Structure 1
């Protein structure tokens, strides 16, 4: 039976339609959803997320619509971000590489250079905090930041991953399999296979796998670089994601165990999280030693030493759980 004209379709609309009715670009709409500014609901037909008409009405009736919504999802790069904070671009880059300014998205330009983007609202709030004044105005960058940068520190990719997994797990709501898939999609397939050895469970995760941002044509050099950026790489970060995946899978198995005894059903959609086992598998790469199991999942992985001073990161942890207004 066709869904056309059914009650669910009259009460909800697709993201592209919702973006038009809210008078925002699709990229702005997607970011607003990630930030919890626009609530979505599951599509009963399995076609992804949709937006309730009541949600669109709520936003359209708000004071300052649509300018307020646009302001809250406005993003800037390094040059504009430094101007907003009244800091030199080199100082801005140092703070971002050290992990104090957390990117919300990125793109690759024509030269396949990564361009990180930040929420303008967050940068203004960071600059307004008195405790951050010395980071922006001191003649020299603080010694702990200089030493970290000399060692090649660049926390921007892992901070993006930590933030994005928060977006994905919030969208997963009360579905433990969707939450596990959100964590798994930021791990290399080999790491997922080492944590989850049952092919039936891996197939279930593949079915729940969220779509990560697309960059370039599949298989292109741009797409490969983006995939590398979106995959956990630092040993402590990988260990954190693996531990959280194992923990989340315990809940998924307890609440919705996968039926055994049948071969995994071929699934359409995104590629599987790990290759299906063959009769004579090739030797797997040696698993990286796990760090001691960290505490239950925080808002994002804790950065490696030296720990950055308090600032935007602590503010983000407070803000991450704020309900949509």
Structure 2
């Protein structure tokens, strides 16, 4: 395709330009350009583990090794294969891809059979779920799923739909947790990833120690950015990020207890230094008048005149 040829030519030109710097590691923006990816595609590729990154020593973000760029560029079908592996689509495109109606597609997603990989909020602040095209193709190609794609939905699944079940948010959270754990380079960061999916009260129940909890909060990951902090869009994103069902909360809390114990054993949370007791102030002792002073001479004079 003409567009694909242009991208391939452009990325090749970047890599082979005589004056191009060949640093050992490069930033995400430049890495995306060299790999022929949009920034959103690059971010998703990192989350999915398609692109390996390394943390910045100063805590300022993540980098990509030059060797990783070369590994990906040497892969078969680059760059089309890499872009295809992170292609995400909504309900309309997804339904067309697996040849079902949008209604059936939505039902399959609500039942948890199709798992969203990301979401965005449209101008009406409605949630639009996106799915990996690669996973949709695999689902449709599996003969075991043929009854779900054609004909009448099985009775046991219809009864679940009648209860109003919608596993899309929960499955998305589970996937997000996997993304966060993959990038966690520290035991406290792993505990913080789990805490990111729990509300404050549920975190307090699992981690009652205030110093552990305060340290843990520094490793919690915010929800995907959707609008300014405190805006309705940001509030909705935070709601989607927070576990709701009691059983989901329970297993997340159990994981948080275990991971916090492991993190504490690895490196205890900072605590204030114990205060040293102040020295006791003793009352000054009475001093006997020294012989030869004015008080001593006056006393002897008085005793001699009695």
Sort the TM-score into its range (normalised by shorter chain): 0.7 to 0.9
Distance in structure 1 (CA, Å) of the matches to 2:232 and 2:127: 13
Are residues 262 and 106 of structure 1, via their aligned partners in 2, closer, same or farther at CA, if it must alter by over 3 Å? farther
Matches within 5 A, 1:303-314: none
What corresponds to 1:21 in structure 2? 34
The structure, 1 or 2, with the larger RCO (C-alpha pairs under 8 Å, 6+ apart) is 1
Residue 114 of structure 1, CA deviation: 0.5
Once the two structures are superposed, the pairs formed by residues 1-325 of structure 1 within 5 Å of their partners are 10-138=23-151, 140-173=152-185, 175-262=186-273
The equivalent of 2:285 in structure 1 is none
- How big is the shift at 1:211? 4.1
Number of equivalenced pairs: 253
The 8 Å contact of residues 192 and 219 in structure 2, kept in 1 or not, is answered as yes
Hey, what's the Cα distance between the residues in 1 that align with 2:273 and 2:128?
Answer: 46
Structure 1 or 2: more helix by fraction: 2
What whole-Å deviation, never above 9, does each CA across 1:129-188 have from its counterpart, x for those lacking one? 0000000012x2111221111111000000000111011111114x21110000001111
Task: Give, in whole Å, the separation in 2 of the partners of 1:187 and 1:226.
Answer: 13
Greater than 3 Å deviation, 4+ residue runs:
none
Q: Between Structure 1 and Structure 2, whose CA radius of gyration is higher? A: 2
TM-score after normalising by structure 1: 0.75
Q: Name stretches of at least 5 consecutive residues in structure 1 with no aligned partner.
A: 1-8, 264-325
Structure 1 221/241 Cα, relative in aligned 2: closer, same or farther at 3 Å? same
Q: In the TM superposition, what is the alpha-carbon distance from 1:207 to its structure 2 partner?
A: 2.4
User: CA deviation digits over 1:69-103, x for unaligned, max 9?
Assistant: 10000011111111111111111110100110000
